[in-house]
């Protein structure tokens, strides 16, 4: 009886499923129009270009990451568009939108939570118009991580940037050391513990941090989020799901799938043969959390 062992990739199956579900389907962008004043102010407040002069390599890495396009899905489609068109978050027209229509902003655009509702309405107008150029300018920029999310006990100090060490004479703003930046909790603020029950419409698309705490660490894991996704301070924070080959390679390493197939012929009666196949599969997770997740 012939036997064949195949080394396949569970990650490749995930990519095929994503393509089949249309998650990466392209959408035609419309011509951009100038954002309203409140949205323009929000864009300006989170602009990371000022950091580029001294941190060129880091800025380039960040520009290639999903953080730099946190409101965009695969192949740069605006993932909030269908939610604003249908369902509990939908609005009859963009001007009716408030921050409550953007529960995803808690992680995908946390600076919106401190902006006026007019900014949310103007963002809704850009989303519904498929104005990718404007929406792409709203992202998880330098100040989200190095200011807003760098402190969990209390509020970050105004006019301070947080980093891995104190730099009192840092140009523009002083840098204060934040140990949180190297702690998995830093990533867990957005990459999830469970449902956001404080929201009017609770949503949850990421539970990585909960999986990391409840499964990986109790199983003897010792690496941090940063060990795998921010090696040597790499601000590209892979994986980038738009880079299919790179993502497939990472998934091959993290989720190897072994398939063993045994083919034989069954003879229920004289001169009658039925071809049969027995398939055994085994998926080994080498990731520090459940996959897929966000």
Question: What number is the average pLDDT over the span 116-136?
Answer: 96
Question: What number is the average pLDDT over the span 73-92?
Answer: 94
Residue 107: predicted pLDDT: 93
pLDDT band at 74 (very low <50, low <70, confident <90, very high): confident
Residue 6: predicted pLDDT: 39
Q: How many residues does the chain have?
A: 294
Helix 10-20 to helix 244-254 angle, to the nearest 10 degrees?
A: 140
- Rounded to whole angstroms, the Cα distance separating 193 from 196 reads 9
- The mean pLDDT of the chain is 87
Neighbours of 271 (CB within 10 A): 5
Helix, strand, coil percentages for the chain (3-state, nearest 5):
40, 15, 45
Phi/psi class of residue 11: alpha, beta or left (left: φ > 0; alpha: ψ in -120 to 50)? alpha
- Rounded to whole angstroms, the Cα distance separating 235 from 51 reads 13
Span 1-24, pLDDT tens digits? 343 443 444 444 344 334 443 444
Residue 188 pLDDT greater than 90, yes or no:
yes
Give the Cα-Cα-Cα angle 200, 127, 110 (nearest 5 degrees): 50
* Strands 256-269 and 3-9, sheet pairing: antiparallel
Omega within 30 of 0 (cis) for the link into 292: yes
Span 147-183, pLDDT tens digits? 999 998 889 999 999 999 999 999 989 999 999 999 9
Hey, where are the domains in the chain? 3-283
Does the predicted TM-score (pTM) go above 0.85? Answer: no
């Amino acid at each position: 009886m012939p036997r064949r062992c195949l080394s396949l990739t569970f990650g490749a199956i995930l990519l095929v499923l994503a393509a089949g579900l249309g998650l990466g389907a392209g959408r035609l962008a419309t011509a951009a129009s100038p954002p309203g004043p409140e949205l323009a102010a929000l864009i300006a407040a989170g602009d990371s270009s000022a950091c580029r002069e001294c941190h060129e390599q880091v800025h380039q890495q960040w520009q290639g990451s999903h953080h730099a396009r946190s409101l965009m899905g695969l192949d740069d489609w605006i993932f909030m568009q269908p939610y604003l068109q249908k369902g509990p978050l939908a609005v009859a027209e963009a001007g009716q939108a408030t921050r409550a229509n953007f529960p995803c902003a808690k992680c995908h655009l946390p600076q919106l939570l401190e902006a006026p509702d007019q900014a949310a309405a103007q963002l809704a107008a850009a989303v519904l118009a498929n104005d990718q150029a404007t929406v792409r300018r709203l992202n998880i920029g330098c100040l989200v991580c190095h200011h807003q999310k760098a402190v969990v006990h209390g509020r970050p100090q105004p006019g301070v940037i947080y980093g891995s060490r104190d730099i009192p004479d840092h140009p523009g703003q002083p840098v204060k050391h934040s140990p949180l930046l190297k702690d998995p909790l830093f990533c867990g603020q957005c990459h999830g513990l469970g449902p956001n029950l404080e929201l009017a419409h609770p949503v949850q698309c990421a539970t990585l941090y909960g999986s990391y705490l409840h499964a990986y660490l109790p199983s003897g894991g010792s690496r941090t989020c940063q060990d795998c996704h921010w090696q040597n301070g790499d601000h590209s924070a892979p994986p980038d799901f738009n880079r299919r080959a790179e993502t497939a390679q990472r998934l091959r390493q993290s989720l190897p799938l072994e398939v063993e197939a045994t083919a034989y012929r069954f003879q229920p009666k004289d001169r009658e043969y039925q071809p049969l196949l027995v398939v055994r599969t085994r998926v080994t997770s080498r990731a520090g959390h459940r996959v897929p997740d966000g």
